[in-house]
Amino acid sequence: MAVGAERVLAQGDIIVSKTDTKGRIHYANRTFLSIADYEERDVLEKPHNIIRHPDMPRTIFKVLWDRIRSGNELFTYIKNGTKNGDYYWVLAHVTPTFDSNGQIIGYHSNRRAPNRPVIAEMEQLYREISNQESSQGDRKAGLIAGEALLNEKLAAAGQTIDQFVFSFASIEKAAA
Considering only residues 162 and 53, tell me which one the structure prediction assigns the higher pLDDT: 53
**pLDDT band, residue 170 (cuts 50/70/90):** low
Q: What is the pLDDT of residues 38-85, one digit of tens each?
A: 999 999 999 999 999 999 999 999 999 999 999 999 999 999 999 999
Instruction: Please check whether residue 120 lies inside any domain of the structure.
Output: yes
Instruction: Please check whether residue 2 lies inside any domain of the structure.
Output: no
Residues 76, 46: contact at Cβ < 8 Å?
A: no
Q: What is the pLDDT of residues 81-107, one digit of tens each?
A: 999 999 999 999 999 999 999 999 999
For residue 39, the domain's CATH number is: 3.30.450.20
**pLDDT band, residue 118 (cuts 50/70/90):** confident
Number of domains in the chain: 1
Instruction: Please check whether residue 21 lies inside any domain of the structure.
Output: yes
Instruction: Please check whether residue 1 lies inside any domain of the structure.
Output: no
**pLDDT band, residue 169 (cuts 50/70/90):** low
From residue 123, how far is each of 56, 118, 131, 164 by CA, in Å?
9, 9, 12, 15
Instruction: Please check whether residue 28 lies inside any domain of the structure.
Output: yes
Instruction: Please check whether residue 51 lies inside any domain of the structure.
Output: yes
Query: Is the pLDDT confidence value at 173 over 60?
Result: no
Query: Is the pLDDT confidence value at 175 over 60?
Result: no
- Full domain range(s) for residue 119: 15-167
Instruction: Please check whether residue 115 lies inside any domain of the structure.
Output: yes
Instruction: Say how many C-beta atoms besides its own lie within 10 A of residue 99's C-beta.
Output: 9
Instruction: Please check whether residue 173 lies inside any domain of the structure.
Output: no
Residue 18: beta bridge partners? 27, 108
Q: What's the predicted TM-score (pTM) here?
A: 0.89
Query: Is the pLDDT confidence value at 162 over 80?
Result: yes
